[in-house]
């Protein structure tokens, strides 16, 4: 009886110690995947934009997303609360086209005129980058969070007078 009780006591004593100290910390991917997907979330702050501010935010948002300057982003038209934009294609010299809309502090966009129809979709699914903005006078800060958890912040100065053209 003594021989069976001793190993049982040793096991209980070790179990009472809690988690192993040598257990590895969760990886960045594990920590990100444990959280709710950011792109499925709702806008964190209700924001009401004027038509001019909507155009400014969309120009800054798509400039950040596509690695362009705000000056390169041309507003081609407005359909309700959707802004149509275009910019010079960096490779072939043609024009790329996209649409932009804003929901709260989220900037959502979609490619237009892609030869692959599946690519002409709003980038608001789980696994898509999440783009948020902060508007402070003429300064527009664009915060982008990629699916792997990395972030980027760009700040643009977009004067309201630039939108009058």
* 83-99 pLDDT per residue, tens: 999 999 878 878 999 99
Q: Average pLDDT, stretch 23-36?
A: 45
More confident residue, 37 or 54: 54
Q: Average pLDDT, stretch 114-119?
A: 89
For residue 139 the two structure tokens come to 């300064």
Q: Average pLDDT, stretch 49-61?
A: 95
Dist. CA 36–CA 99, nearest whole Å:
26
- Mean pLDDT score of the chain, rounded to an integer? 79
Whether the pLDDT of residue 100 is over 60: the answer is yes
Dist. CA 49–CA 93, nearest whole Å:
33
Dist. CA 125–CA 70, nearest whole Å:
25
């Amino acid at each position: 009886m003594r021989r069976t009780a001793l190993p049982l006591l040793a096991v209980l004593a070790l179990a009472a110690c809690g988690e192993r100290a040598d257990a590895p910390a969760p990886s960045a991917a594990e920590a990100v995947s444990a959280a709710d997907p950011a792109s499925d979330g709702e806008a964190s702050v209700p924001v009401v934009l004027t038509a001019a501010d909507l155009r400014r935010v969309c120009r800054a948002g798509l400039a950040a997303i596509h690695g362009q300057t705000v000056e390169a982003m041309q507003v081609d038209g407005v359909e309700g609360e959707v802004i149509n934009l275009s910019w010079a294609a960096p490779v072939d010299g043609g024009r790329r086209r996209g649409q932009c809309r804003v929901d709260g502090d989220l900037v959502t966009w979609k490619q237009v005129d892609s030869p692959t129809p599946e690519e002409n979709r709003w980038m608001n699914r789980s696994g898509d980058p999440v783009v948020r903005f902060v508007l402070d006078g003429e300064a527009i800060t664009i915060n982008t969070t990629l699916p792997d958890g990395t972030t980027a912040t760009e700040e643009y100065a977009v004067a309201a007078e630039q939108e009058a053209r």
